Structure 1
Amino acid sequence: MSQPPVAQAVRRDRTHYLYIAVIVAVLLGIGTGFLWPHFATELKPLGTGFVNLIKMMISPIIFCTIVLGVGSVRDAARVGRVGGLAIAYFLVMSAVALAIGLVVGNILHPGDGLHLTEAAKSVGHTAAADAHEGPVDFLLGIIPTTLVSAFTEGEVLQTLLVALLVGFGLQAMGRAGEPVLRGIGSIQKLVFRVLSMIMWAAPIGAFGAMAAVIGETGTDALKALGTIMLGFYLTCALFVLVVLGVLLRLTTGVNLLRLLKYLGREFLLILSTSSSESALPRLIAKMEHLGVSRPVVGITVPAGYSFNLDGTMIYLTMASLFIADALDQPLALGQQIGLLLFMMIASKGAAGVSGSGIAVLASGLQSHQPALVDGVGLIVGIDRFMSEARALTNFAGNAVATLVIGTWIHEVDAERVKLVLAGGLPFDETTLVDEGDDSADGDGTAGGEGGDAGGPGPEGSAQPAPAAHPAPQPAG
């Protein structure tokens, strides 16, 4: 009986070394960028390649998670209740993030004293041309060309739509759809297994990404634009620690710092790649392991990656005010609010990808304040560093949203949450899937040891099982 824990301890040690390697790789990348900047910029494909490998897995993971979550629930109204509550929550939190950024930006006036060069002017117009044309195009873009094109094009919202349709279809089939659900459960195990293999390339990707950004940027942009960077980081920290922290404590009784510690390796991965998408699959697995029911995780996390972009909201606010001040064209309060409300809509779907914030910023300015588009070039030099703070804040916001929404509709195992966050039920860092041994006393289950230790799920909810349970359990 003592062998399985020993074997698991060895596996955890191996992944512990992996994340130590990521930290070392980040430090080496920073050093390489400063010492050999020209060589460092040539390493950019290493970081891009790793992020692309992760993004390759996003669509199948979202599809399997949502189909299993929706298909295993016999009450369609329950799924609609989760989705409706999630969208309402996302809109409120986006407005709060915009308001905080607006207040801090108007207090700091970070753009005062900067001067625009001719070379910087063209950057904004190029970025605006690359952005989406407007909300109508965004809505039409949710519909894929074919049922399978959502997977080949890697569009999160298209995958979300297809998965919901398939999930509701299987739900309507009743017991006749259970063999399909079991098959998708097996596919999910395979997908997470492939993801665990890709994760071993994380140190290489982190080294290439960090070396390239330091080599391209150097210290000039950091010195010249340090005020907005510092203000932006402080604002994001204020939002996460105060707004999200208080909300989480009042709603669930959970300490935010414990939740952030539980997700520490995901934050490290985001910091090294500047993309919150790189941690999306692990967030799904970890939130289910934490004790949130599968339908809540399956709907809230993927939707949040497109609609709950708190860090992006703060960035758009402060960047707009920064550019207006730098060009000596300060915006009146009414102009600020109108511009930012448009950007709140335009930003939906710009999830996780490094650099998407610049395109949304330029597009919003082009539509509402064309004279300010020239100033986008001022912020490009430090956008990569601000992208990291955006991604970290977006990720923290989605983790909190999943736990809060699950608590509101009574689909969180509160005792399991306490046990996991206290370290009594560790997440299996070796792989995100089980070893196919269903008789392992709950110690070898997907997403962590003791997958069934939490006991029955909350009343009326699906069992809050780890992400890769062999088969979903239909809810009563």
Structure 2
Amino acid sequence: MNITTPQCSNKPKKSTFFIIVTNLTFWVLIAIIAGILLGHFSPENGVKMEILGAKFIALIKLFIAPIIFLTIVLGISGMGNLKKVGRIGIKALGYFEVVSTVALAIGVAIAYLFKPGKIDKSGLTLGDASQYTNGAAKDFSWLEFFFSNFTLQVLLAAIVCGIALNFYKKREQTILVLERFSKVVFLGLKYVMYLAPIGAFGGMAYTIGKFGLGTLIPLGKLMLCVYLTMALFVFLILGSILRYYKISILSILKYIKEELLLVLGTSSSEAALPSIMVKLEQMGCSKSVVGLVIPTGYSFNLDGTSIYLSMSVIFLAQLYDVHLSFFEILSVIGILMITSKGAAGVTGSGFIVLASTLTALHKIPVEGLAFLLGVDKFMSEARAITNLIGNTVATIVISKSERDFTELNLDPVLEE
């Protein structure tokens, strides 16, 4: 029997306190709590902090286009098999449509079960919400969606460039240059992420300072239903999908906890897009699958937004005592299957898409959106987090189904 003698290390052991205070998650959490307190006890100053959250998201967005472009180009050019690229794309879109439709159906079912819109309307004023929709309450247009969705444009451009690079004579030299540039971009992102607590503080302080905690009372039932539905979707639907691959949803949530806290503070799943791509690669998903599935999912796999939209439509129908037939309910799901793809993960986009959906339905007053203004911001955190988790699971599923997953990386990263 071999006995291994423990080796002495000259490196001093880091204390638990040191590990905690140098952890970015700790500071993001502290920032969120500080933002809530400032917004509640000093609303005027809390509202002024909006610029911190907005500037941080704007800074993160600078990295999204180059990261998506470089990841997809390098992924496709590294595959060497263009049939695989098409197969992954079709498989991902099929998965997105099925899962997001399930999310829509669950949202409608829970809304009818708990009837959040059947509340005491005394003292509530339903005003005109047109000023908040910026003219977005019109029929959905795929042409407009494409030209207004910069992420989708970058995605398509990267796919074309990645395919073209496979036929380029100086392919290897070009890939080497792109890989070096990619390392520089990710290094820059690493330093920007140290500002995450500031962004989370600003976003949360503004939210509480602007809308206050008291405004949640008349809409508490709707918020509770939305959060409950999204929790059920994550743990039952997405959890069951992961269980099929013998992965625990809890271990995944623990692994991406920094990204979840960042999304909670900023109300935007885009803030976590670059870092979630890095983590999924570290977990074992192939670079090519991550590069294709995550950016595409940010436009076509918004599970949290789907749940929010479907529940909000039914909520407003109940609020106005509008009876929807079974066929009209199916129409709602059908319309949302299209319009929900227009919410590209940016905070507030779900509200705009909801306006276009109600207009397309031609039955529920669009003015009722004013009633949702007080809590839309609070529910945006829940849908952004659900969107992030949904795209994380989608990437794992596609990578597993393609047998393009490094199993040796899985256990170590999930046990950290």
What is the TM-score of this pair, normalised by structure 1?
0.81
Q: 2:153 matched to 1:158? A: yes
**Equivalent position of 1:19 in the other structure:** 25
Question: What's 1:374 paired with?
Answer: 367
**Which residue of the other structure, out of 347, 357, 361, is the alignment partner of 2:350?**
357
Distance 1:7 1:218, change over 3 A: same
Q: Which letter maps to 2:339?
A: A
Match of 1:277 in 2: 270
Residue number among 188, 193, 199 corresponding to 2:187 in the alignment: 193
In 2, Cα distance between equivalents of 1:165 and 1:420? 33
- In the superposition, relative to structure 1, how do residues 340 and 117 fare at CA in structure 2: closer, same or farther (>3 Å)? farther
**2-structure distance, mates of 1:139, 1:392:** 23
Per-residue deviation, 1:334: 1.6
Structure 2: runs of 5 or more not aligned: 1-6
Residue in structure 2 matched with residue 339 of structure 1 by the alignment: 332
Q: Secondary structure at the match of 1:353?
A: coil
Provide the C-alpha distance between the structure 1 equivalents of 2:101 and 2:166, rounded to a whole number of angstroms: 35
Task: Kindly indicate whether residue 226 of structure 2 is the aligned counterpart of residue 220 of structure 1.
Answer: no
Is structure 2 residue 210 aligned with structure 1 residue 204?
Answer: no
Q: In the alignment, does 2:69 pair up with 1:69? A: no
Superposition pairs of residues 267-416 of structure 1, within 5 angstroms = 267-416=260-409
CA distance in 2 between counterparts of 1:269 and 1:414 reads 28
Amino acid at match of 2:194: W
Q: Equivalent of 1:265, from 252, 255, 258?
A: 258
Q: Matches of 1:419 and 1:138 in 2, distance apart? A: 45
The one-letter code of the counterpart of 1:332 is S
Please, which runs of 5 or more residues in structure 1 have no aligned partner?
A: 143-153, 424-476
In structure 2, the CA distance between the partners of 1:5 and 1:65, relative to structure 1 (3 Å rule), is farther
SS in 2 for 1:224: coil
Instruction: Give a deviation string over 1:83-120, Cα, whole Å, max 9, x none.
Output: 01000000000111011111101101101125398964
Q: Distance in 1 between matches of 2:191 and 2:156?
A: 28
SS at match of 2:168: helix
User: Against the structure 1 CA distance between its residues 6 and 274, is the aligned structure 2 distance closer, same or farther, given a 3 Å change threshold?
Assistant: farther
In structure 2, what is the Cα distance between the partners aligned to 1:46 and 1:89? 36
Deviation at 1:335, TM superposition (A): 1.1
Deviates more, 1:278-287 or 1:190-199: 190-199
Cα deviation, residue 200, structure 1: 1.6
In 1, Cα distance between the equivalents of 2:343 and 2:359?
17
**Higher relative contact order by CA 8 Å / sep ≥ 6: 1 or 2?**
2
**Secondary structure of the equivalent of 1:110?**
coil
How far, CA to CA, are the matches of 2:328 and 2:319 in structure 1? 17
Equivalent of residue 106 in structure 1, options 83, 101, 112: 112
Identity %: 40
Cα deviations by residue, 1:59-84 (Å, 9 ceiling, x for unpaired): 01100100110011111001110001
Cα 1:3–1:335 change in 2 (3 A) is farther
Instruction: Give the letter aligned to residue 199 of structure 1.
Output: M
Q: Distance in 1 between matches of 2:247 and 2:39?
A: 40
CA distance in structure 1 between the partners assigned to 2:42 and 2:76 by the alignment: 51
Matched-pair contact (CA < 8 Å) for 2:128–2:368: no
Q: Matches of 1:59 and 1:315 in 2, distance apart?
A: 27
Offset at 1:282? 0.7
Distance 1:59 1:131 in 2: 28
Counterpart secondary structure, 1:121: coil
**CA distance 1:158–1:331, change in 2 (3 Å):** same
Provide the rounded CA distance (Å) in 2 between the counterparts of 1:256 and 1:407: 15
Q: Give the distance between the partners of 1:385 and 1:4, measured in 2 at CA.
A: 49
Paired with 2:43 and 2:252, the residues of 1 have a C-alpha distance of 37
For residue 130 of structure 1, report the CA deviation from its aligned partner.
2.9
Aligned length: 409
1:157, 1:349 within 8 Å by CA — same for their partners in 2?
Answer: no
